[in-house]
Structures are given as structure tokens and as C-alpha cells.
Structure 1
Amino acid sequence: MKRLLIVAAGILLICLGLATGSDALQKSSGDTGDKVLNLYNWGDYIDPALIAKFQKETGYHVNVETFDSNEAMYTKVQQGGTSYDITVPSDYMVAKMKQSHLLLPIDKSKLTGMNNYGSAYLNKSFDPGNKYSLPYFWGTLGIIYNDQYIKPGSIKHWNQLWNRKYRDQIMLIDSARDIMGMSLIADGNSVNITNTQQLLSAKNRLVRLSPNVKAIVADEIKMYMADGEAPLAVDWSGEAAEMMSQNSHLHYVVPTEGSNMWFDNLVIPKTAKHFKAIYKFLNFMSQPQNAAQNAEYIGYSTPNTAAYHLLPKATQADQQFYPKDSVLKRLQVYKNLSPQKVEQYNDLYLEFKMHH
């Protein structure tokens, strides 16, 4: 989701054996007779080798168009100009799209891999019973620390970030819902709270954190942490994996009192036309070996338990990305709040940023 490194803005077409360019997507998507699948995905969010494998196995050509935010994807689907067959919204956006009648229900009778998904990753609040979505990847929000400055194993709680000894040492990912959520959890509240007083309390807590905040940044946070620019950061697990691959002194921690658990999901937008291709693709991506290959390429956590058991033992044992059940139970999924509440979250977060 927004947690991703977007390697290409705008449109990326993976057209093996197809004409390139947006015209090819527009043309093919308008004809239900074509053996094509139009996938609308985040940038670099599927192993290209799997696209090639799917095309070879099924004879369906896959057109991939990319987006860089849930909101951009929502707008494009809502406009209905292009017949996308599958797209990949995050948790709260599944609920919003469902509310706006932009999704088609998934016909479970046509699925062959549902048993491969772990129960911990199904039946979430944004889509009870997984009527409209299949989980694609998941992850958490947590704390990254550099063991050259911070004693290994010493960071376990959100509240530790407020310690005065970390003055001007913390980088925060620039995300209103996540940083407000971190403060709400530190206050012992839900990340989906709508009570104005509790939200004000969370904002005031963030203001007290300001002296410790070195910078509030977006994608650059990965580069800064990999280069050892700061001892501490708050960011998503997938971003953390990328930083850690570049700097062996970095570690990722999900605080014991809980955090956000996010999901990206495969859904069928109302624009879909190629239903045979859609179900072939959903079943293909649910196969354990394919899901495992995709997880190794992307670096995020797979909800496919059968695929998890095919991953390298070191990956399976890595509690930073596959936490124990005791930690999983404390993770919270964001709900799709009303536009008024989303605006309130954003406004309070902006007030905190102005203090920084």
C-alpha cells in the first residue's frame, strides 16, 4: 500500500507478447472475448516472473497498470473509464469501495485455494467473511532502531520514544493515521477512536514528543536510516525490511502493547469483464509455491500459511515480520472512518507537525 516503494509513477505495462502503451489496455479491456486480464496494482508489487508464468500456463495476457495511492486508485475505478479486472486496495479502502458499490462479490465456489490462508488473516472488520476480498500481503507499524546507538533488545514500547534521552533522534513516517494511531495506543486507546477528547489527548501527546523528532519524512526515511542518519524511526514493516537489507545494524520491533496490522487485498472492481481470467489468477496467486515466490520477491508478510511454510527457515523464524500469536492478538486494523473523522485526524496531525 502506501507502505510500498513505488518504482514507477503513472503507468507500467507488462505486456509479454502484447503491444505496449495505454491504448493496448484500453482496447483489450473493452472486449470480453479477449484472453486478457487487466490488473491495477501498486508499483513493483508482484514478481514479474509470476506474471510470465501465469501467461504461459493459462494463455491469458496480463496488462498491469500501476497506482501510487489508495485514493488515486479509488478515483480511477469510480470514474469507470478503464475495465480493470482486479485491483489491490488496502484494508480501509476495501470498506470504502464496498460502501460506494465499486466492488463485485467473490464467488467462493470458483476458488481453489481458500484453505491455504491462515484464519488470523481472514474475516477482518473491513470485509467480514471475505465476501469481497482475498488477503494479498500484510504488515505492521513498528520501531526501527540502530544498534550502534541503541542497546539491542532495549526498545519494546511506544512510550520509550518519549524519553528525553532521545532528543532530536527519531524519524517519523509522514502518515496521519499511523502517527496518531501510535499515540493513541501509547495512551491505551484504540486506533479507531472517534472521541474528540481522546483524539486531542493523542495530539497533545505527540506535541510532547516533538523535541525528540528529528524529521517527519516519506520515502526518504529508508535512505536516511540505511545511512545511519538517526538512531530511531517509526515506519512500516515492509519499509523496515528494505532498510535492514542495506544496513545490518538496523532492527525492527512491534511494541508489545500493540500496533496497526495492515492488509493489502485482491478485489474485483465493478468494471471487471474477464471473469474466467480473474478466477484463474486468484487461484494461481493462492497456490502456495506462487505466493511464497511472491513474498520472497516483495519482502512483505504473506497471509498464505501454506506458502509461509515454504519460505526459508530464517524468514519463518523472524518474529519481526511473523510475530507470535500473543503479539498478533494485540494488533489493530484501521476502520474506514467517516470523512469528518478522517479530516479531524488529519487536522490534529497537522497541528502536531506545525509544532515540530
Structure 2
Amino acid sequence: MKRLISMAAVILAAVIGLAVWSNSLQKAQGATGDNTLNLANWGDYIDPALVKKFEKESGYHVNLETFDSNEAMYTKIQQGGTSYDLTVPSEYMVEKMARAKMLVPLDKSKLHGLNNYGSLYMNRSFDPGNKYSLPYFWGTLGIIYNDKYVSADEVQHWNDLWSPKFKDNIMLIDSARDIMGFSLRSMGKSMNTTDPNTLALAKAKLDQMSPNVKAVVADEIKMYMAADESELAVDWSGEAADMMANNSHLHYIVPSEGSNLWFDNLVIPKTAKHYKAIYAFLNFITDPKNAAQNAEYVGYSTPNTAALKLLPKSVRNDKQFYPDATVIKRSEVYKDLDPKTVGLYNDLYLEFKMYRK
């Protein structure tokens, strides 16, 4: 009898263990029931307090998974095995995902407050009519300088980064498209260039700048710049805002010849399952108060003009992060380039990183 009881206990434990394992697996795959929203986002790109607020108000539980590149997110969705309801690709990736039929069109009848978004951020070339996307954050690529060592007039142009005075004093964000892009811009070329010869020249010019490059780094660039580890950096505007919040000597500038104008967007991938939760979240994040809170936490520029009015004057009047029309006009939005050209960008950039002088 004891043996039977023991065996029953073992079987019960096994069943419970299997259930726990199955539940854990479902959570890992983002499939935990109808009261769930599976959100794939960039790291630290939404206020955690907002997530909790949404969960409390809506009754939906948010499974948040992060990614560190558009390409990583794209590949994961393409290969299957995920159940993302929403994700946050950049402009060129929205275009690529739509072309690959990986996105579900938005049902505008279920969306509220679309007029909260400024016209500048809607109906862009990567998604005409916003068939698939809602703007989330936007910004530019530029130069961060430390006024203890560098004056503003020394970094008005991309070509200034090649000055011998900045030897071993520039940090670059680890991004092929952006680093190749500013080299192209310094040559008066488009950041969407597809000509192999022009790209080779841009890489050769980067090689000439390599003595000035102290490091090519990812997120840690913010920590290094805040700690005065380098005089200059090339990074995105939102990352610059984070640095500046921790070091009053840091400033951000978009070179006068123009730069990249980027947009991150909320989209519904074909893996989506929880549509009530999706539209509840989209309407929640469109609400001006919530969008303003998110912008204050993340530090990036909000496309929600109704939310912008709720931000402090010091923020909404800051031309570093809400530049005037002139800066925007001379900047470029990245296009989705063909795979062969993307591979060429990546190969040339990798060569630059590996063989810096």
C-alpha cells in the first residue's frame, strides 16, 4: 500500500512538474492566454510604471521581450516560434516586413486619438497612409560633445570628426548603417546610397578617421560619455539625452549638412493572437498623458503632439531633440535596401571595425 501511495505521489509530482514546465514554455513563447499582450520591444524603451498601469486598467498581462536590433527581431518572427502581438521596428524595417507580408494592417476603426500624432510623423514613405504602423518615438543621428574639451563651433560638420585634434577621442555607436551613413553624408552623398564604388569610398574615408576612434561600442557608450571617458561620440538623439541627464557638460548637435531622421513604430506582426489586448494597448499608449510619461522616462522625442504639450517647456523647446523644420528637411529617412547592398554595408563596416589603425 505504501508503495502504491509512493508511486501515486511520484506520478502526481510528475504531472505537476509537467504542467509547470508547459506553463513556463508557454510564457517563454508568449502564449499564456486571452488576457495576455506579448510585446517585443527594444531594451528599456517603455516606462515600467506604464506597463503596470496598463495591466491594472485593462486586466491584460504584458509579456515583454526585448531585442537589440531590427534584424534580430525580424529573423525571430520570420523563423516562427513566437507569438508577438506587437513589436517596434524602425522605419526601413516596417517597409521590409510589409513587403514580406509579415504585418497585419491596422483596423483604424478600433483606434482612438489618431489626430494626437503630428502630420510630420504620419504618412511617411516607408508606410503610406499608416496602413501598418503607428509612430512610437523619433529622432536623429548626431554628435555628442563635452564642452570641457570641445566647443560647439568645432563640430558643426561631419567632416570635423576627421580633425587630428580629436585623435583617440571619439566613440562611435556600433551600427553599420549609421556609421557608413555619416561618412556618406560627409561626402555629400545620400545615406541610402546603393552604388558599390561610393560605398567603398565612404569606407576608405572612415579608415582615414580611425586614428580618432577610441572605441566602437553599444549601450555602454552612454556610461562612458557620462563619465568623461571621451570628448566626442556619434549616437542617436535619445541616447544623447540619457548621457546629458548624467553629465551637464554634454551637448548634442546635428551637423549642418544633415543626418538620419529615424522613426520607431508600433506594428502588429503576423504572429499576433490577442487583438483585444493589442488595440487596448495602442489606445492606451496614444493617450497624451501616457505618451508624455513614456517620453519623459525614455528620453526620446515623442511624435504625439498632444503629449508634447504636456512636457516641460525646457523639453518641448529644446532644439537638440525637437529640431526645427530646416534640420528635418535636410535629413534622410533610411530606406529598405536590397539584401546584397545591406550585406555590402555590413561587410565594409566590419572591415573598418576590425582593421582600425
Match of 1:156 in 2: 156
Matched, 1:280 2:277: no
Match of 1:296 in 2: 296
The residue identity in structure 2 corresponding to 1:282 is L
TM-superposed CA distance for 1:299, in Å, is 0.8
TM-superposed CA distance for 1:203, in Å, is 1.4
TM-superposed CA distance for 1:60, in Å, is 2.2
Match of 1:103 in 2: 103
Contact 2:123-2:129 within 8 A present in 1 as well: yes
Where in structure 2 are the equivalents of 1:1-356 lying within 5 Å? 22-23=24-25, 25=27, 29=31, 31=33, 34-353=34-353, 354-356=355-357
In terms of mean alpha carbon deviation, does 260-269 or 42-51 score higher? 42-51
Tell me the C-alpha RMSD between the 2 structures. 2.0
User: Higher helix proportion, which one?
Assistant: 2
TM-superposed CA distance for 1:69, in Å, is 2.3
Contact 2:261-2:331 within 8 A present in 1 as well: yes
Contact 1:135-1:266 within 8 A present in 2 as well: yes
| Count of equivalent residues | 336
The 1:307–1:21 alpha-carbon spacing in structure 2 relative to 1, beyond 3 Å, is farther
Q: CA deviation digits over 1:6-59, x for unaligned, max 9?
A: xxxxxxxxxxxxxx974453687365xx22222122222211221222222222
Q: State, as a whole percentage, how many aligned pairs show the same letter.
A: 68
TM-superposed CA distance for 1:229, in Å, is 1.8
In terms of mean alpha carbon deviation, does 321-330 or 79-88 score higher? 79-88
TM-superposed CA distance for 1:114, in Å, is 1.1
Contact 2:211-2:356 within 8 A present in 1 as well: no
TM-superposed CA distance for 1:66, in Å, is 2.2
Q: CA deviation digits over 1:327-355, x for unaligned, max 9?
A: 11112111111111011111222232314
Find the aligned partners of 1:27 and 1:186 in 2 and give their Cα distance. 44
In terms of mean alpha carbon deviation, does 327-336 or 215-224 score higher? 215-224
Q: Secondary structure at the match of 2:260?
A: strand
Q: CA deviation digits over 1:134-182, x for unaligned, max 9?
A: 1111121100111111124542111111222222222212211111100
Find the aligned partners of 1:182 and 1:27 in 2 and give their Cα distance. 38
Show structure 1 runs of 4+ deviating over 3 A: 20-24
Find the aligned partners of 1:201 and 1:72 in 2 and give their Cα distance. 28
The residue identity in structure 1 corresponding to 2:347 is D
In terms of mean alpha carbon deviation, does 281-290 or 208-217 score higher? 208-217
Contact 2:30-2:84 within 8 A present in 1 as well: no
Find the aligned partners of 1:28 and 1:349 in 2 and give their Cα distance. 35
Contact 2:26-2:32 within 8 A present in 1 as well: no
TM-superposed CA distance for 1:61, in Å, is 2.3
Find the aligned partners of 2:72 and 2:201 in 1 and give their Cα distance. 32
Find the aligned partners of 2:107 and 2:287 in 1 and give their Cα distance. 17
Contact 1:226-1:243 within 8 A present in 2 as well: yes
Contact 1:141-1:235 within 8 A present in 2 as well: yes
Contact 2:41-2:87 within 8 A present in 1 as well: yes
Structure 1 gap ranges (5+): 1-19
Q: Secondary structure at the match of 1:38?
A: strand
Find the aligned partners of 1:174 and 1:116 in 2 and give their Cα distance. 34
Question: What TM-score does the superposition give when structure 1 sets the normalisation length?
Answer: 0.89
Q: Secondary structure at the match of 1:78?
A: helix
Contact 1:25-1:38 within 8 A present in 2 as well: no
Q: CA deviation digits over 1:62-108, x for unaligned, max 9?
A: 22222222222222222332322111112222122112211101111
Find the aligned partners of 1:75 and 1:218 in 2 and give their Cα distance. 20
Q: CA deviation digits over 1:283-316, x for unaligned, max 9?
A: 1111111100000111111111111111111001
Question: What TM-score does the superposition give when structure 2 sets the normalisation length?
Answer: 0.89
Match of 2:15 in 1: none
The 1:68–1:348 alpha-carbon spacing in structure 2 relative to 1, beyond 3 Å, is closer
The 1:26–1:218 alpha-carbon spacing in structure 2 relative to 1, beyond 3 Å, is closer
The 1:202–1:63 alpha-carbon spacing in structure 2 relative to 1, beyond 3 Å, is same
Find the aligned partners of 1:95 and 1:237 in 2 and give their Cα distance. 23
TM-superposed CA distance for 1:272, in Å, is 1.1
The 1:105–1:49 alpha-carbon spacing in structure 2 relative to 1, beyond 3 Å, is same
The 1:65–1:171 alpha-carbon spacing in structure 2 relative to 1, beyond 3 Å, is closer
The residue identity in structure 2 corresponding to 1:307 is A
Contact 2:149-2:231 within 8 A present in 1 as well: yes
The 1:350–1:80 alpha-carbon spacing in structure 2 relative to 1, beyond 3 Å, is closer
Q: Secondary structure at the match of 1:191?
A: coil
Find the aligned partners of 1:138 and 1:21 in 2 and give their Cα distance. 37
The residue identity in structure 2 corresponding to 1:342 is V
The 1:23–1:231 alpha-carbon spacing in structure 2 relative to 1, beyond 3 Å, is same
The 1:348–1:67 alpha-carbon spacing in structure 2 relative to 1, beyond 3 Å, is closer
Contact 2:253-2:320 within 8 A present in 1 as well: yes
Contact 2:122-2:129 within 8 A present in 1 as well: yes
Find the aligned partners of 2:221 and 2:144 in 1 and give their Cα distance. 11
Find the aligned partners of 1:52 and 1:217 in 2 and give their Cα distance. 32
